[in-house]
Amino acid sequence: MGSTSPGVTTLPHSCLARPDPALLPPSRDPDTQSWGCPESPSPPATPEQPLPTFCLHYFDMLYSEDIAWATKGVGEPSQSGAHGGRGEAQKEPEQCPIIDSQGLGLGTEGGDLQASLHLEEHSLEQVQSMVVGEVLKDIETACKLLNIAADPADWSPGNVQKWILWTEHQYRLPQIGKSFQELSGKDLCAMSEEQFCQRSPACGDILHAHLDIWKSAAWMKEKAAPGDVRYCDASWADSEVDSSCAGQPIHLWQFLKELLLKPHNYGRFIRWLNKEKGIFKIEDSAQVARLWGIRKNRPAMNYDKLSRSIRQYYKKGIIRKPDISQRLVYQFVHPV
DNA sequence: AACCAGGACAATC
DNA sequence: GATTGTCCTGGTT
């Protein structure tokens, strides 16, 4: 553990910041239909464009976080209480797996500037904790979606496959295929970037970088003191109807409800038309089917099959067509 | 073309 | 046995 991964720090920005707009959890602003990248009129969206927080690439986020730790470790004696205090990081900030602070060029010398630097650091830190919170939140969302643990070390070979498939879709990576089959999360974590590249010359480095982010997130989660509010918006403990009862295979209707409960993330794919009556509309049948396929490890899933399964619920009285039947609109028989 | 309904059968747990 | 994935036919929007 704790091995640094120099490869990550040298990865081209564009490599990681290329999420599939269709799968990305998405615009933070439900009013704008902008998903960051898609119909943006200007040519290839540049990283500098005001993309939603989402398009900020994860590594940059964590990298910035490291700056905060680095500066904090040197220059800030106490005061952690106000911030919720990462007691531990205070003493001797252990090296976060993903981060290699080398060459950050951050020193505290330069007395005159110190006060203003302090201020900047302070606000920077606030932004950073928000950003890190977002990263953790997104990872958590992925965990729920895929029904896998947050810590890659806990993944079974099946979990690894799911994660790879998901990452591949999410970031539009070239087909990775079965190069990582039979590997557990622990095996994966123990692999170097070179070993990743051997298995997947096309995108082993990117995959390795993404895994590093997950490892870092797990590391942060573990290190954060209980009651630490810094990353609270990640809502790790948030148990809002997580229908995926541990270990139990999830049912399609549960999965649909899960998506419906996160309009923030999936409102573009599926949304309530009338929550009280349990009426919902599938806005993007292909994407919902794709998510379901990923969740169930059924790469061949499509809306045709998914809808057949929904129709099976008619007889069981779980889902039905609403009184006024509309395309892609269904109704939970027992809302709530 | 995409969606809908439902039969039939297989796979999986 | 329950659930759902797959394939299919045929109808509707």
Query: Does A307 contact strand B, using a CB cutoff of 7 Å?
Result: yes
CB-CB contact of A165 with A294 (8 Å): yes
Neighbours of A35 (CB within 10 A): 19
Partners of A320 in the β-ladder: A331
Neighbours of A42 (CB within 10 A): 7
CB-CB contact of A213 with A59 (8 Å): yes
Query: Does A304 contact strand B, using a CB cutoff of 7 Å?
Result: yes
Beta strands A319-320 and A279-282 are unpaired
What value does the mean pLDDT take over residues A4-13? 38
Q: Which nucleotide lies at the shortest CA–C1' distance from A325?
A: B4
- pLDDT tens per residue, range A111-146: 444 555 455 555 555 555 566 677 777 787 788 778
- Å from the A302 CA to the C12 C1': 20
Residue A265 is given by DSSP the state: H
Partners of A319 in the β-ladder: A332
Query: Does A321 contact strand B, using a CB cutoff of 7 Å?
Result: yes
Average pLDDT, chain A: 65
Nucleotides on strand C lying under 7 Å from protein C-beta:
3-8, 13
- pLDDT tens per residue, range A56-73: 333 333 333 333 333 333
Cα A176-A178-A181 angle, rounded to 5 deg: 125
Query: Does A274 contact strand B, using a CB cutoff of 7 Å?
Result: no
CB-CB contact of A28 with A264 (8 Å): yes
- Å from the A333 CA to the C2 C1': 20
- Å from the A307 CA to the C7 C1': 14
Give the 3-state secondary structure of residue A296. coil
Q: Which nucleotide lies at the shortest CA–C1' distance from A301?
A: C5
- Å from the A308 CA to the B6 C1': 9
pLDDT over threshold 60, residue A244:
no
Residue-wise over A227-259: b if at least 16 C-beta within 10 A, else e?
A: ebebbbebebeeeeeeebeeeeebebbbbbbbb
Q: To which residue do tokens 């998914």 refer?
A: A306
User: What confidence category does residue A18 fall into, taking pLDDT thresholds of 50, 70 and 90?
Assistant: very low
- Å from the A312 CA to the C3 C1': 9
The percent of residues above 70 in pLDDT, for chain A, comes to: 52
SS3 of chain A: helix, strand, coil, percent, to 5:
50, 5, 45
pLDDT over threshold 50, residue A190:
yes
pTM over cut 0.75: no
The Cα–Cα gap between A124 and A108 comes to 16
